[in-house]
A = this chain, B = another copy of it.
Amino acid sequence: MIFSSKLIEDAVRAFAGLPGIGRKSALRMVLHLLKQEPEKVAEFTRAIAQMHQDIRYCSQCHNVSDAEVCSICSNPGRQRSQVCVVENLRDVIAIESTQQYSGLYHVLGGILSPLDGIGPEQLQIDSLVQRVREQGIQELIMALSPTIEGDTTAYYIARQLGDTPVTLTAIARGIAFGGELEYADEMTLARSIAKRLPMDSYMSLSKA
């Protein structure tokens, strides 16, 4: 693409640096912003600059936060004895959006992956162990990737907590609601048969 304006070219390059955005989509965004009122554009750039500048990490769960302690950890309505262990912010948003979970979170910041140089020191595992020991947490729900790395991470955490009375659980894996059996991968299908549930618990899940 050849631009006759360096200003436009720089703006297109800025957008095209974002994940999943090519030069054509970037140009479309730039032309959209070009037509907006100055206040609208100022609002756009301010929202991004402020987000990057003011965002913090919750001292409790290490989720992104607007304050020292995040809005979930500081919510008195949440169940403090349950902690869901996730890899990142995206998982917190996904679970929160179901509106079915009322406990707290712990964001590890990734999963153990020796090949990528990610060991326990790079993750928020020590602070999780400390939370469990000090805050009387009763249940730790592992919501990690169903991969070798995810399983290793869950296993490593379980080992660290072997001497505590905490109950460890993991989110259920299986065929998605509305998913068709013939399109499920073999691993998922095999596991969902092995880990089958009594019919009555299945029915109550469907209704939930």
> A residues engaging B (CB < 8 A)?
1-8, 10-11, 13-14, 17-21, 25, 27-34, 36, 38, 41-45, 47-55, 63-66, 70-72, 89-90, 92-93, 96-97, 99
* A42 vs B14: C-alpha distance when bound (angstroms): 11
Q: Which of B20, B27, B47, B48 contacts A44 (CB 8 A)?
A: B48
Copies in the complex: 2
B97→A1 contact, CB < 8 A? yes
B7→A54 contact, CB < 8 A? yes
- A19: B residues at CB distance < 8 A: 28-29, 32
A5→B55 contact, CB < 8 A? yes
A52→B34 contact, CB < 8 A? yes
A47→B14 contact, CB < 8 A? yes
B47→A5 contact, CB < 8 A? no
B33→A90 contact, CB < 8 A? no
- A29: B residues at CB distance < 8 A: 18-21
B50→A10 contact, CB < 8 A? yes
CB of A10, distance to nearest CB on chain B (Å): 4
* A5 vs B58: C-alpha distance when bound (angstroms): 10
- A6: B residues at CB distance < 8 A: 66
- A71: B residues at CB distance < 8 A: 4-5
